Each structure stands twice: as C-alpha cells, then as structure tokens.
Amino acid sequence: MGVAFEQSGATRIVRTPGEVIVAAGAIGSPHLLLRSGVGDGADLAALGIAPIVSLPGVGRNLADHPYVHMTFGVRPGASLNPLLRGWRAYVQGARWLFTRRGPLTIGASQAVAFVRGGPNVTRPDLQINFRPISHAFDSAGRLGPDSADRVTAAICGLRPLSRGRVWLTSPEGPPAVLGGYLGEAADEDVLVAGIDWVRRIFASEPLQSLVLAEDKPGISAVGDGPIRQFVRETVQTMCHPVGTCRMGSDEKAVVDPRLRVRGIVGLRVVDSSIMPSIVSGNTVAATYMIAEKASDMIRADWRA
C-alpha cells in the first residue's frame, strides 16, 4: 500500500508495510478514493480510470445541515458591524493583537437555541445561532460585515433527510459536488418552522426593545408562499458535509465498522465522511471522536 503525490513538480510514491489512512474530509476523501480507482466501476471506467474495486457508495450519501439566515436592523450599539467595517477593522485587529480584547476575541455566535420545529417532534430538530453581526457580499463577491447595524439569527435543520453527492467529471480536476439541499420536503418544512421561532423570539424581550425592523426575509414575507420562497432562494451549507464514505456492513457501505475500505487491505478512511448519517449538532466533536475511536481500533488491529 502507498500514496503517490506531487512535490516540486515531480510525482513521488511512498510505500508502507502498514496502512494508508485517508483523512481528507467529506469532499476530499471520496475525491481521493475515486481518483485512485475506488468507486463506481462503470463511472470510473468511463473516465479512463482503472477500477481497483467497485464501491458504488463512494461519494454518495452526502449529508449537510441546511442553513438560512434571518437578519434584523437594530439600535446603535446592538450590532458589532460598525466596529468591523473599513478602517475600524484594522483598529480592532490591533486591539486584539496588543490587548487581547475587543470583538475579535469572540466567536461569531453568542447564543444557540435547540428547539423543536413542530408539536409532534420529540427531539430538537432546529439549531438557531444568534450573532451580533451580519454579513454581506460586495460587488466583487467578497464576504464582509454588513453596511448597516444588523444582527443575525441563523437557522439550521438538524436532521436533514436530503442527500447530495460528490463525483468526478475528469480524472485530474476538482470533484463535482451536489449538496442536494431541500431535496426532501421535510427539510424545507423545518426551516419554515425555524423562521416562525425566530420571529417569536425577536418579538420578545430583551430583544424586542433592541430591534428596529426585520431585514431578511422582511415583514412583507408573510404566509407560507413567501417564506418558502425565501428558504429556497437563500438556503446554504452550514459547512457540515459528512457521509460520503459511509460506514456500514451492507453492499453500499464504503468502509466496514473498523473503518477499513471494503475489498482493499491496508486502507482506511478516518474522518467525517464515514458518518452513516449526520449528527444533530455541529460536526467537529463527532469527528474528533471518530478519530479517537479509530486510533484505538488501529492499535488493537496491529497488536492482534
């Protein structure tokens, strides 16, 4: 087993008597496997890649938390946007550098609510992140602080049913990625319920006194149609892709329960791509635990 990589323009190959562990994340790991001939045999052959083992599940089952941002105009002092715009951002940068104080010392989200989207839901299926900032894209497509005093409530569907895919369109180029967000109606329904939650929270104290007006989707978005349109037009990734090298014992699984790539000796995948389904919260802690568990299994397998 080994890996081939480019260094200073030359292709190098490193071999190991042990194992190769792929840990390139939910986009990178299936990409590496596919480029290496591990994936759907017919798809690979169509691109001129010789299949080593046919595993049609590689790149399938992409799960991610769909994310929708509501923003509210607020009274002066309630948003950090003015401190982070233009030259003031440099002042805050210097403040952080020399005093370790100021808005750059805190994370984006200052509070998080886990709530249920419907009366018959038994476990939270919505995560709402509250931020004293809002962001906007400039004419060059760059992300930066909003021009007005606004705050954000970012709504995330925690148990999405929709699935996307990672696949190759060429042997060498970047992978194609289809998020598949809102492919299942239930994923849209829960975000619609999240907007209702946020409106109720912002209509309650202590937030109500700070809010001047709802900015997005805006108070004209009333009723099912406009809200759904807003969700469809603005849904984005929460940057939590998982599941594209799914662990399992069935024919479509990519790795077995010890994270060994099925049908190949000496190759494991250890990262968020092995999650069979997405966790109902942020993904990094679960990924750390996958790594902890994998290190135990690898040591045990090599001792045996």
Ligand X SMILES: Cc1cc2nc3c(=O)[nH]c(=O)nc-3n(C[C@H](O)[C@H](O)[C@H](O)COP(=O)(O)OP(=O)(O)OC[C@H]3O[C@@H](n4cnc5c(N)ncnc54)[C@H](O)[C@@H]3O)c2cc1C
- What is the binding site for ligand X (CB under 6 A)? 23-26, 28, 32, 239-240, 271-272, 282-285, 287
CB of 112 to ligand X, least distance (A): 10
Complex with ligand X: residue 214 or 283, whichever CB lies closer: 283
CB of 120 to ligand X, least distance (A): 28
Complex with ligand X: residue 81 or 273, whichever CB lies closer: 273
CB of 274 to ligand X, least distance (A): 9
Spatial distance between the Cα atoms of 240 and 65, rounded to a whole number of angstroms: 6
CB of 275 to ligand X, least distance (A): 9
CB of 227 to ligand X, least distance (A): 26
Complex with ligand X: residue 21 or 201, whichever CB lies closer: 21
Set 65, 69, 135, 240: catalytic member: 240
- Examine the residue annotation and report whether 31 is marked as an active-site residue of this protein: no
Complex with ligand X: residue 166 or 210, whichever CB lies closer: 166
Question: At 300, which amino acid appears?
Answer: A
Complex with ligand X: residue 25 or 82, whichever CB lies closer: 25
Active site residues: 240
